[in-house]
Amino acid sequence: MKLNKYHFVGLFLITLILACNVKDTGPSVIDLKVSNLLSKMTLEEKIGQMNQYNGFWDVTGPSPEGGDAKNKYEHLKKGLVGSMLNVRGAEEVRAVQKIAVEETRLGIPLIIGFDVIHGYKTISPIPLAEAASWDLDEIKSSAKMAALEASAAGINWTFAPMVDISRDARWGRVMEGAGEDTYLGSAIARARVMGFQGDELSSNETVIACAKHFAGYGFAEAGRDYNTVDVGSSTLFNVILPPFKAAKDAGVRTFMNSFNELNGVPASGDTYLQRDILKGEWNFDGFVVSDWGSIGEMIAHGHAKDGNHAAEISANSGSDMDMESSLYVNELASLVKEGKVSEKNIDDAVSRILKVKYELGLFDDPYKYCDAAREKEVTGSKEIMDAALEMAKKSIVLLKNENNILPLKKEGQKIALIGALASDKNSPLGSWRIAADDNTAVSVLEGMQRYNGNTLSYAKGADVSMGKTEFIREVTINTTDKSEFPEAIATAKSADVVVMVLGEVGFQSGEGRSRVNLDLPGVQQELLEAIYAVNKNLVLVVNNGRPLNLSWADENVPAVVEAWHLGTQSGNAIAQVLYGDYNPSGKLPMTFPRHVGQVPLYYNFKATGRPTLPAPGIVFWTHYQDVENTPLYPFGYGLSYTTFNYSDMNVNNTYAENKEVSVSVMIKNTGSVSGKEVAQLYIRDVYASETRPVRELKGFDLVDLAPGESKLVEFTLTDEELGFYSNKGSWKVENGDFEVYVGGSSSTTNKSTFELK
C-alpha cells in the first residue's frame, strides 16, 4: 500500500491519542472526540444538549398531552434537546432517537432517562426493603437485573440510586433510600451504582446511574417533602455527603441535585455543593441534572427573581442539564450574549454530557438499546423473576416470634388469612413502578395458596384505601367502613392460626407522601384488635414503605413480620418465610419508633450533657415525660428461626505500629435450623474535639451457620473507620478512648474497649 498525506495525518492523530492516553494527565480519546464535536457546535446546539424534556412522543408522533408537545417536537428537530425522560419501549425510543440522529444538523443522539428505582417492569423490593437484606451482592444483582430489563426497553440512564440518608419516617421517600445509616448507605450506594452500570458502560445491557438528590433532601424539616433543610456542617460532612462520595468513587456518571434549600440556597443553584465539593474537591467528571423543574422552583423559593435569573444562577452554579423547566433552552443564549453566563461554563456542561454519551457508545450505535426482539425476550425473563424473588426473601425482617408460632406448619393447620393487603396485587409494587403493569404482583393469598396442605380461608376485613389509587393521586384512606369486620372475625374464630396482612397501600409512601401519623392506617388497628380478641394465635405481616408504630402489635401479637413492599414476587417470598422454606435474615435499616413524637429517632445520636436519669424523680435530663427514649425496634434489629450467640470478643490494637485495630468475635448458631446472621460492628469515639455519636456502624458481615456451627468473624478498623470530618470538612483521626460493640443489632451490649495512642 502506498502511503499518502492522509495516512500521515491519521498516524499523527493516533500517535497523539496514544501518547495522551499513556500519560495519565492528558485527554482521553473520548475527551478529544468531545472537544472536536464541541468545536462544531453553535451556542444554541450546545444549550440544546443541556435541555431535557419529559416524554411527549407516542411512536407515531407528538402526543397532545401537556399541550406543549408540538413545541417540544420542534425543539427536538432543531437539535435543542439533549435528553428525554419517560420515553420507554424499544420502538418508542427508536422513534425519538431517529429524529435526533437523522433530522438534526449534527445528529447527536439523545440520552434516555427513566426512574428505574427498584426494577423496571419486573418490580423488586422497594430500596428500603432491599437495604434490610444488608446483602450487597444481592442488591448489586437486583440493580443489574433492573438495568438489563430497562436497557432492553430503550433506556440507558436511571435516576437511581437515591442515596439520601433520612432519619424521619414521616418523610414518604424513606422508601426510596437505604435508611438512616451513612456506613450502610454508602456500601449500598456503591453496590447499586456497580449493579446498574456494570463493568462496561458501553454494553447495551447496562444503564448509567444517578446519585440523587444532591444534597440534604432526606433532612426535610418535620419530614414534609420538599421542605427546608437546616443541618449543621458536621451532619452535612459526616452523615449526608459520604454516600454521594461513595457513589462517585464507584464511578457513578451522573448526579441529580435536589428540590430543597440548604443553608438558604436551593440545591439547584448551590455553587458550594456542585462546583466546590462535587466537581472541585471530588473531581467528578460526569454531569449534574436538575430535579424536575427545580431550576424554575428557585423563584418560589425566593432565590431567583424570574426564570431568566434562575437559569443564570443554575448554570453558573454547575447544574449541567435542566430537567423539564425549559429555562435553559429559553434563557441561556441571551444570558451568554449579555455576559451573565460564560461560554466556558456552557462548554464545561456540554462536554460532560457529550462525554457520557460517548461512554455509552451512543455515537457508534444510537439504536443499541432499541431492539424490540430483545425487549420481548428479556422483559420478565426467568432470570429476572428469580432474582426478584431472591431479593424479596432476603428483604424480610422477623420482628417478633413468641413461642415459635412461626414457621407455620405445612399441613394440618387451619389458617385464616385476613386483610385487604393480603389479596392486593398492586400495593406490593410500591409507588415507583411507572413501567410495571397494574396488579402484577403475586399477592400473599396467592403465595400461600401454593402451600395447599392446609385449609386456608380468606377474609378482607376492611379496605385500606377507598377508590382508585394512581401514581400522582392522593390516597384516600378508609377510616369509617367496618362492614366487613364480622365476616373476618368469624373466619378468625374457627382457625388454628390467623395471618393478618396490614399496613400501607403502595401509593401511601413515596414522593409527596409524607405523613404525621405512623400508626396502621384507617380502621386496620381496630381490625387487628377485633381479630386478636377472638384468636390470639396471630401472625401480623406488615406491608409498608416506612417504619410504622407497631407498639400495640409488639405488646400483644405473638409474631410480627416486616414485609415492606416487596415487588412482583412479594407473595411468594412472604409465603416461603411464613412456612419456613426461607429462614428470615433481614435487619432493620431504620429505627422503628414507639411513637411518632420521637421522630427523628435514630441509633447514632449524640449523648448530650444529660444523657441519663441523675436520680430517681429528677426531671432535668434528656427525655420525654410520656414515652421512653428507646425505640420499639432499633436499627440493625431482626430475628431468625434460629438463635445466635456471640462470644470471645477479641481486640488486637496495633494502631501505634501499623494503624490498625482488628476485632474478632465467635458466632454460634445455637438453634436447630440453618440461618444467616448479619454481624454488626459499632464503635464509639468516647471523647473528641467535636462530639461523636453514641454508636456508629463501621463494619458488618453476613454469616451462614448450620445448627451448632461456629465461625470466627473478623473486622479491621483503619483511619477510614476511626476518623470523622470536622465541621470545616477536614478529615481527622484523634487519639483517645474507643468503645467497640459487635452483635446482632445496634443495641447489642457485647462490648470491648481500646485506646488510640
Binding site for ligand BGC (CB under 6 A): 115, 159, 212, 291-292, 511
Q: Are 508 and 424 in contact (CB under 8 A)?
A: no
When the beta carbons of 289 and 681 are compared against ligand BGC, the nearer one is 289
Query: Least separation, in Å, of the C-beta of 172 and ligand BGC?
Result: 11
Give helix then strand counts, H and E, for the chain: 24, 27
Q: Are 676 and 702 in contact (CB under 8 A)?
A: yes
Query: Least separation, in Å, of the C-beta of 41 and ligand BGC?
Result: 27
24 as an active site residue: the answer is: no
Which DSSP state fits 506?
G
Query: Least separation, in Å, of the C-beta of 291 and ligand BGC?
Result: 5
Query: Least separation, in Å, of the C-beta of 60 and ligand BGC?
Result: 24
C-alpha cell at 663: 476485632
Query: Least separation, in Å, of the C-beta of 114 and ligand BGC?
Result: 8
Residue located via cell numbers 440544546:
48
Residue at shortest CB range from ligand BGC: 159
When the beta carbons of 159 and 754 are compared against ligand BGC, the nearer one is 159
Query: Least separation, in Å, of the C-beta of 259 and ligand BGC?
Result: 6
When the beta carbons of 101 and 128 are compared against ligand BGC, the nearer one is 128
Taking the CA atoms of 246, 248, 250 and 255 in sequence, report the sign of the dihedral they define.
positive
* Edge-to-edge order in the sheet of strand 661-669: 644-653, 661-669, 710-717
Instruction: Please report the beta strands in 654-730, taking only residues with DSSP state E, as ranges in sequence order.
Output: 661-669, 675-685, 696-705, 710-717, 724-725
Cα–Cα dist 155/120, whole Å: 10
Q: Helix, strand, or coil here: 538?
A: strand
Catalytic residue among 291, 424, 463, 685: 291
Q: Are 294 and 214 in contact (CB under 8 A)?
A: no
Q: Helix, strand, or coil here: 555?
A: helix
- The number of beta carbons lying within 10 Å of the beta carbon of residue 14 is 11
Percent of residues in the chain assigned helix, strand, coil, to nearest 5: 35, 20, 45
When the beta carbons of 375 and 511 are compared against ligand BGC, the nearer one is 511
Residue located via cell numbers 462525554:
355
Compute the residue count for the chain: 757
When the beta carbons of 323 and 573 are compared against ligand BGC, the nearer one is 323
CA angle at residue 602 from 597 to 606, to 5 degrees? 105
C-alpha cell at 285: 467528571
When the beta carbons of 115 and 375 are compared against ligand BGC, the nearer one is 115
When the beta carbons of 214 and 602 are compared against ligand BGC, the nearer one is 214
When the beta carbons of 212 and 248 are compared against ligand BGC, the nearer one is 212
CA angle at residue 383 from 586 to 247, to 5 degrees? 55
- On the 0-12 / 13-18 / 19+ scale of CB atoms within 10 A, 178 is buried
Query: Least separation, in Å, of the C-beta of 54 and ligand BGC?
Result: 8
- On the 0-12 / 13-18 / 19+ scale of CB atoms within 10 A, 105 is exposed
Q: Are 287 and 272 in contact (CB under 8 A)?
A: no
Query: Least separation, in Å, of the C-beta of 529 and ligand BGC?
Result: 38
Query: Least separation, in Å, of the C-beta of 173 and ligand BGC?
Result: 8
Return the HEC string of 287-325.
Answer: EEECCCCCCCHHHHHCCCCCHHHHHHHHHHHCCCEEECC
When the beta carbons of 294 and 351 are compared against ligand BGC, the nearer one is 294
Tell me the catalytic residues: 291
